[in-house]
Amino acid sequence: MASTAFPTRDDFAALLNDSLGGEDGGFEGRVVKGTVTAIENDLAVIDVGLKSEGRVPLREFAMPGQKADIKVGDEVEVYVDRVENAHGEAMLSRDRARREAAWDKLEAEFTESARVEGVIFGRVKGGFTVDLDGAVAFLPGSQVDIRPVRDVTPLMDIPQPFQILKMDRRRGNIVVSRRAILEETRAEQRSGLIQTLAEGQIIEGVVKNITDYGAFVDLGGIDGLLHVTDLSYKRINHPNEMINIGDTVRVQIIRINRDTQRISLGMKQLESDPWEGASAKYPIGAKLSGRVTNITEYGAFVELEPGIEGLVHVSEMSWTKKNVHPGKIVSTSQEVEVLVLEVDPEKRRISLGLKQAQSNPWDSFAERHPIGSTVEGEVKNATEFGLFIGLDGDVDGMVHMSDIAWGISGEDALALHRKGEAVQAVVLDIDVEKERISLGMKQLERGGPAAGGTTAAAAGLNKNAIVTVTVLEVRDGGLEVQAGEDGATGFIKRSDLGRDRDEQRSERFQIGQKFDAMITGFDRAKKPTFSIKAMQIAEEKQAVAQYGSSDSGASLGDILGEALKAKTEG
């Protein structure tokens, strides 16, 4: 009885432990209910039935970005971290209480795949943090929206639904997705909206995204693709030349694939087609002005009007510049004159000619230089069959190897001329359609058949031929001679006046003196070159062949003597 009437200190300790759930401090680590007894500055004083009250910051009673809605007398749940701290106060946490309660609720919702509400309140590496009514979840950047979002600020501190992708209470990890909710909602909207749309329908939408190949337009819950080729009839290099993100555009539905829920849109279909009546507007042979819009290896595109482009094929670019890239003839944005060559409205093609809008240089050349006239030009190229001569008007003429010089082979004649050399020639033939000009150089030689005289070949002036020449002039370096009475003139070098050194003296000859010599070739002026020495060597070889070699015992003098004797007797 005494012990019951007068409890000792130990009795009080036992009673307190019983009230707190035993000696193990049953309140600690639990969520309990308490009453707000006071609000001091930014703290709420809460009585949870312990021997001392606890203080909790007011911010723990508010959602991120909002004020705490709490007053004295309110009953709240808090988490008991410790029954008593160093100051004798209970350590309480509203955040921890909300987190524990939230985890219980979230686990049940995750099991049922239900949506949860949360608030994006912070940024972390790779994504964002979301408050799920006390529990903190991770929102990856890829799960914020259906398409990448540059600025997430407008989405922060706003309650919105999320889908839990995975959670681990032991590790305290929760991963959520906002994108899954949007996709699910959009799928529902798309299914309903796509049933109300029809091909050919005209509708307004908002440009949501722009790519190189087109733009995505939001039609009110479902996106349609506006391809760059359907923006306008005129050439568009990039969609941003016509539209920008956020623009409201009027489009026509071109195609609907209800299985894939893909919608193709067009803007140019709302305009009049410029190709209607193209044949009448652009008759074959019409000369027009246009602007070069694009250059390729095979030609250049010329815009005749917005939406109408024609192609100038590389073969129709220039009369004279062959196998040249179109970019070296015209440039982008250049205004040019063209001629309509062909029109195909069904295939939306117009073939144009650039060179046809200019005068034909072959016609112009034929007017200025009729057949038989003399022209001057530069040797541009030498081929195995002739010389190409650059003429005025940027055209080329060809001198066949047989028309270069008289009396020598074509190969020898080709060797007489070099690239870049200025020459004269006679126009032999002009074929405007085939763009060919035939020229002749030998026809200008004095004494040739074109001048009404005797040719060098007709007079026997062929290489290795023996002719009688007359001395016209005696020089230190040799003799200027003439073949026959009125033949071609040529030169004998001092070293060719004889085999022996005593014979190689030009002063032993006199003007008017006649003697035989061999034609050894022709110089670049087509004049023959003569040699007494070459004739002597040739005669010696002939005598040796006819009367026996020197190995027979006869001397060379005997052999030549016999040859001269036979020649005299003959």
Cα distance between the two ends of the chain: 186
Residues 292 and 220 in one domain: no
pLDDT at 555 over 80: no
Q: How confident is the model at residue 350 (pLDDT cuts 50, 70, 90)?
A: very high
Cβ atoms of 22 and 38 within 8 Å: the answer is no
Flag whether 326 is in a domain.
yes
Q: What is the mean pLDDT of residues 177-204?
A: 84
Of 137, 152, 183, the last residue of a domain is 183
| pLDDT in the model for residue 550 | 47
From 38-47, 61-70, 268-277, 322-331, the region with the lowest mean pLDDT: 61-70
Q: What six digits make up the tokens of 233?
A: 């009839």
Q: What is the mean pLDDT of residues 237-246?
A: 90
Q: What is the mean pLDDT of residues 166-186?
A: 88
Residues 10 and 94 in one domain: yes
Flag whether 555 is in a domain.
no
Q: Which of 105, 99, 93 is CA-nearest to residue 59? A: 93
CATH assignment of the domain containing 135: 2.40.50.140
d(CA 152, CA 131): 16
List strands edge to edge, sheet with 54-57.
54-57, 43-47, 31-40, 75-82, 91-93
| pLDDT in the model for residue 13 | 47
413: Cβ–Cβ under 8 A, 6 or more apart, which residues?
Answer: 401, 404, 405
Cα–chain center distance at 29: 69
From 8-22, 29-43, 234-248, the region with the lowest mean pLDDT: 8-22
Bridge partners, 46 (sequence order): 36, 54
Most confident range (mean pLDDT) of 19-23, 226-230, 258-262 is: 226-230
Residues 379 and 433 in one domain: yes
Quick check: helix, strand or coil at residue 237? coil
Flag whether 316 is in a domain.
yes
Q: Which of 106, 92, 87, 115 is CA-nearest to residue 32? A: 92
Share of the chain above pLDDT 90, in %: 24
pLDDT at 226 over 80: yes
Flag whether 262 is in a domain.
yes
Structural domain that includes position 88: 4-98
Q: How confident is the model at residue 531 (pLDDT cuts 50, 70, 90)?
A: very high
Output the CA–CA distances (angstroms, integers) from residue 67 to 33, 55, 60, 204, in the order listed.
22, 18, 10, 42
Instruction: Tell me the per-residue pLDDT of 122-138, one tens digit each, with 9 for 90 and over.
Output: 999 999 999 887 788 99
Outline where DSSP puts E strands in 133-282. 135-140, 160-168, 173-177, 202-210, 214-218, 223-227, 248-257, 262-266
Of 355, 386, 401, the last residue of a domain is 355
Residues 503 and 524 in one domain: yes
Write down the mean pLDDT value for the chain: 81
Cβ atoms of 143 and 176 within 8 Å: the answer is yes
Residues 53 and 83 in one domain: yes
Residue with the two structure tokens 């006869």: 554
Q: CB-based burial of residue 6 (10 Å sphere; 0-12 exposed, 13-18 middle, 19+ buried)?
A: exposed
| pLDDT in the model for residue 385 | 87
Residues 290 and 328 in one domain: yes
Q: What six digits make up the tokens of 356?
A: 């046809």
| pLDDT in the model for residue 128 | 94
381: Cβ–Cβ under 8 A, 6 or more apart, which residues?
Answer: 387, 388, 419
Instruction: Tell me the per-residue pLDDT of 405-447, one tens digit each, with 9 for 90 and over.
Output: 876 777 888 888 888 889 999 999 888 888 889 999 888 875 4
- The more confidently predicted of residues 104 and 123 is 123
Residues 88 and 15 in one domain: yes
Q: How confident is the model at residue 1 (pLDDT cuts 50, 70, 90)?
A: very low
Q: What is the mean pLDDT of residues 5-27?
A: 52
- The more confidently predicted of residues 162 and 446 is 162
Output the CA–CA distances (angstroms, integers) from residue 419 to 387, 422, 523, in the order listed.
9, 9, 17
pLDDT at 503 over 80: yes
Share of the chain above pLDDT 70, in %: 84
Q: Which of 498, 455, 456, 492 is CA-nearest to residue 477? A: 492
Flag whether 108 is in a domain.
no
Q: What is the mean pLDDT of residues 47-68?
A: 74
Q: What is the mean pLDDT of residues 81-108?
A: 72
327: Cβ–Cβ under 8 A, 6 or more apart, which residues?
Answer: 295
From 12-21, 195-204, 474-483, 493-502, the region with the lowest mean pLDDT: 12-21
pLDDT at 16 over 70: no
Do you know the residue count of the chain?
570
| pLDDT in the model for residue 433 | 83
Cβ atoms of 37 and 52 within 8 Å: the answer is no
Q: What is the mean pLDDT of residues 88-115?
A: 78
pTM score = 0.44
Quick check: helix, strand or coil at residue 422? strand
Q: What is the mean pLDDT of residues 261-288?
A: 87
Q: What is the mean pLDDT of residues 280-295?
A: 90
| pLDDT in the model for residue 521 | 79
Flag whether 456 is in a domain.
no
Of 327, 355, 383, the last residue of a domain is 355
Flag whether 62 is in a domain.
yes
Q: What is the mean pLDDT of residues 358-377?
A: 87
| pLDDT in the model for residue 20 | 46
Flag whether 560 is in a domain.
no
Instruction: Tell me the per-residue pLDDT of 315-343, one tens digit each, with 9 for 90 and over.
Output: 898 888 878 899 999 999 899 999 999 99
Domain count, the chain: 6
pLDDT at 163 over 90: yes
Q: CB-based burial of residue 138 (10 Å sphere; 0-12 exposed, 13-18 middle, 19+ buried)?
A: middle
pLDDT at 15 over 80: no
d(CA 167, CA 173): 5
Residues 55 and 31 in one domain: yes
pLDDT at 570 over 60: no
d(CA 441, CA 437): 13
| pLDDT in the model for residue 175 | 94
